[in-house]
Structure 1
């Protein structure tokens, strides 16, 4: 995630851009609070976080007429009403610009036919050959998709129990949990993993291929979670026209293409070459009880016995 603060100067818009890199959602939230450091003009965050900032009344509505490059975006990204968290009280508060699905990454040599279901992670033939992302939030949500639950973000007590048992069962197949994409790539190659829940999606695929791995990527039939980063403008923006110009500039073709070429990330102007335009993508949303999920996940990762849950 990125936040930017402008000071007027030179170049195309006669402006200097000061960029601050933030390492987590919570760090950005802390910085966004009044009195907690510099206030940003624009920032990028995923849809779940955008919804939080909108509820906290920290965002300024966007004038779409000042962001004409939105007309270049693919239909699914122009339909802002279909993406949770971007519209409130009839006003638009954020514009999508990059995303990645969380599909399955697989070794083509060990799995010559692309797996079609998320449930392949539990297939006994991959005992000791599966990598999973270390996150209670996303594991409960993707397991909910695998089980066919309608809403993977709002789970009731019965669903939570069922998913907890399923995630405990997944431990039988695990080679390791990972946190960073670089870590996952190193373990995948060194230990000849067969299958991975790709939390970083196409970014991980690009990294693995650059390292020489012959990997494929697939959106399972049940669908895949996906994060969608969006640009938003803060209420404290000192120069709103310039802030809107920044968002518009980030949607110019040569800028969007750099996301794909340099980072392996999808952009909102061009179809993702790693997945069908009609693939079932589920944008992440706030969950029913994040602390509860993480507490249970911590026990699962630590190896707590099934009968103790």
Structure 2
């Protein structure tokens, strides 16, 4: 969230802190029984997921310490977890990576019966996620946050409706298209456009088709960008009229700056990442980690996460703690939104995709 926080938001934040400390769906208030007092939860996480807004209350209530190590990329996350230099109790990762960790026995099954908020997960989001995190009847990950990768369209410049990823190949917008410098997402999205049934399990022939299509696109591209601010600046300056975004928050930020910008989920679908919480295989305090996960997926914490980061939440009841505008901004007002999204899964070969993208950029 950017900009000055108005008084009403400050009061709301104060109220939420009180809720987190006292509400029955968070840690139990007033008890002198702290069976985990003195314990530490070692967490491997993305930035923004372990904020004092919600971590402090849990630490105080249970007399524990949440020790966080941050990673800046998927590869760094995996490297830290696999190195064994520190046994992480809780590891956050996109659902598509869960199989990779599970194959190396870096994570352990989660007892969903110990999670009283598990039944509050948004049903179709949970259904999408379960296909990638449930194996042999055991659940290895619990969703925590999500975000889609839609198109942004400047409606002052592009008058006709944009309905397909093919807009990124349209000669009408030559020099006014910006797209992400990201091998995996570029390959998957182009595969959707080409009608391939599984954008994360491509044959060599299909990968060749993707490469050819991306090379055809190059003459129309104004810029390949790599960061949120870079992408937003291209739109705000008018250099780009159509943008392959890194998330809806880019669009809402531009709208708040006064741009007439529209989010588009193309007819072929758009990608969605769902980050999950997993339990490290060598944790010595599984009951404490289950307790913490349950706290993190509670509606109170999820509402705080949405307001703090702009990401989508996974607890359907968190909507009741948001204004109508806040819920709409995070796509928490429309459960059917997930039905138009394609899960970011583990691909057939990261190496092949990176090589393909490098060859496209070198043309």
Q: Same fold (TM over 0.5)?
A: yes
Match of residue 70, structure 1, among 118, 135, 139: 118
Q: Which residue of 2 aligns with 1:101?
A: 148
Measure the CA separation in 2 of the matches of 1:244 and 1:26: 26
Report the Cα distance in structure 1 between the residues aligned to 2:65 and 2:116, rounded to whole angstroms.
22
Cα shift readout 1:173-218 (whole Å, capped 9, x = no counterpart): 21101111122112221243111111x2213223333444332112
Secondary structure at the residue paired with 1:33?
helix
Deviations 1:144-200 (A, max 9, x none): 1011110111112222222111101111221101111122112221243111111x2
SS at match of 2:179: strand
Rounded to whole Å, the distance in 1 between the matches of 2:236 and 2:126 is 38
Q: Map of 1:84-99 to 2, 5 A cutoff?
A: 84-99=131-146
Q: Quick one: which of 242, 254, 265 aligns to 1:219?
A: 265
Structure 1 position 296 matched with structure 2 position 356: yes
More helix by share: 2
Preserved CA contact (<8 Å) 1:71 1:78: no
Structure with the bigger percentage of strand: 1
**What corresponds to 1:307 in structure 2?**
none
> What SS does the corresponding residue of 1:116 show, helix, strand or coil?
coil
Cα distance in 2 for partners of 1:240, 1:247 equals: 10
Distance 1:88 1:149 in 2: 25
Distance in 2 (CA, whole Å) between partners of 1:238 and 1:279 is 39
Instruction: Name the CA shift for 1:274/1:114 in 2 (closer, same or farther; >3 Å).
Output: farther
| Residue pairs, 1:10-21, within 5 angstroms | 10-21=59-70
TM-score of the two chains, using structure 2 as the length reference: 0.76
Structure 2 matches for 1:107-256, cutoff 5 A?
107-112=154-159, 114-198=161-245, 200-256=246-302
Structure of higher RCO (CA pairs closer than 8 Å, 6+ residues apart): 1
Alpha-carbon distance change, 150 to 24 in structure 1, aligned in 2, over 3 angstroms? same
Structure 2: how far apart are the matches of 1:78 and 1:154? 22
Distance verdict in 2 for CA 1:26–1:278, change over 3 Å: closer
Report the alpha carbon displacement of residue 34 of structure 1 after superposing the two structures with TM.
Answer: 4.1
With structure 1 as the length reference, what TM-score do the two structures score? 0.89
4+ residue stretches of structure 1 with deviation over 4 A? Answer: 273-276
Tell me by how many angstroms 1:114 deviates.
4.4
Partner of 2:291, secondary structure, is: helix
**Structure 2 residue ranges without an equivalent (≥5):** 1-43, 317-330
SS at match of 2:297: coil
Question: Which of 313, 337, 342 lines up with 1:277 in the alignment?
Answer: 337
| Matched-pair contact (CA < 8 Å) for 1:206–1:264 | no
Contact 1:185 1:208 in 2 (8 A): yes
Q: CA deviation at 1:113?
A: 5.0
Match of residue 77, structure 2, among 28, 35, 39: 28
2:222 touches 2:239 (CA, 8 Å); kept in 1? no
Structure 2 partner of 1:56: 104
RMSD: 2.2
Task: Note closer, same or farther for the CA distance 1:97–1:113 as it changes in structure 2 (3 Å cut).
Answer: farther
Tell me if the contact between 1:202 and 1:274 (Cα under 8 Å) persists in the aligned partners.
Answer: no
- What's 2:41 paired with? none
User: Unaligned 5+ residue runs, structure 1?
Assistant: 305-309
Aligned 8 A contact 2:125 2:338 in 1: no
Structure 1 residues 115 and 258 mapped into 2: Cα distance closer, same or farther (>3 Å)? farther
